[in-house]
Homo-oligomer: A and B are copies of this chain.
Amino acid sequence: MKIKIFDVKQITKYVIKNSLKRIFLYRACLVRLKLMGVKKVFSYTLANETGVTADQVRKDFSEFGIKGNKRGGYEVEELLEKMENIFHRNKDHNLVLIGMGNMGLALSKYSRFVQRNMNIVATFDIDPFKQKIRSDIPVYSMGRLKEIIDRFRVKVAILAVPEISAQEVADELIRFGIKGIVNFAPVLLKVPADVVVNNVNLCDELESVIYYVHKMMKVDGLKNIEILYRDMKY
């Protein structure tokens, strides 16, 4: 893993940093607080609401270059704005979704993406029948993929096609300029080094819960549970 060349396709196994995941939690919390009319927060407020420590909150802010007011905490509004900038949320993001099967359909109807400035501008499917399904978002044949990606300057795609087609479709997406893929198919895609892939594997998510539940049921004392917690990166 020392030498990386852009043109060589390779398995991508990006893992989202925990600090970034936590930042998302803080933001969700801030949005709620703002709606409630709260003007100021402290690191321990966010900590309580998100199940982390206050130290961690401040350290995370430090990592992302976010500064508050000594002794005065953070202005909710200001903090949110800083985060919007970090996450490029001041601008809209156009997405395409490939595969209008069960999962694709659900995702295409999910209103929260739009609420967060992420617009699925079009969906695609190889099956002409799927292309007739009623949806707020147009369903096109794969032939129009390049045209739409160019027109809407799409950089990120959601991939919800069967496992068997995932690599082939990913190759096409990348050829047309896609730089980021959220992949729901349970395969590791081979992509050039400058393409970001986030694999969402729901089977694994379920199985890990089953795994931890089994572990938990074997535990009884409080001391043991502490060890188990560590094992789960609580």
Using CB atoms and an 8 Å cutoff, list the residues of chain A in contact with chain B.
Answer: 1, 4-5, 10-18, 20-21, 24-25, 28, 48-53, 86-88, 93, 95, 102-103, 105-107, 109-110, 112-113, 116, 118, 155-156, 158, 179-182, 186, 188, 193-194, 196, 198, 200-214, 216-217, 222, 225-226, 229, 231-234
List the B side residues contacting A179 at CB < 8 Å: 213, 216-217
List the number of copies, as a whole number: 2
In the complex, what distance in Å separates the CA atom of A200 from the CA atom of B203? 12
List the B side residues contacting A86 at CB < 8 Å: 211
Nearest chain-B residue to A222 (Cβ)?
B4
In the complex, what distance in Å separates the CA atom of A35 from the CA atom of B19? 39
| Candidates B14, B48, B116, B211; contact of A87 at CB < 8 Å | B211
Contact A24 B204 (CB under 8 A): yes
Most B CB contacts (10 A, CB to CB) among A93, A103, A186, A214 go to A214
Most B CB contacts (10 A, CB to CB) among A1, A4, A113, A206 go to A206
Contact B198 A208 (CB under 8 A): yes
Contact A232 B14 (CB under 8 A): yes
Most B CB contacts (10 A, CB to CB) among A158, A210, A229 go to A210
A137 to chain B, nearest CB (A): 13
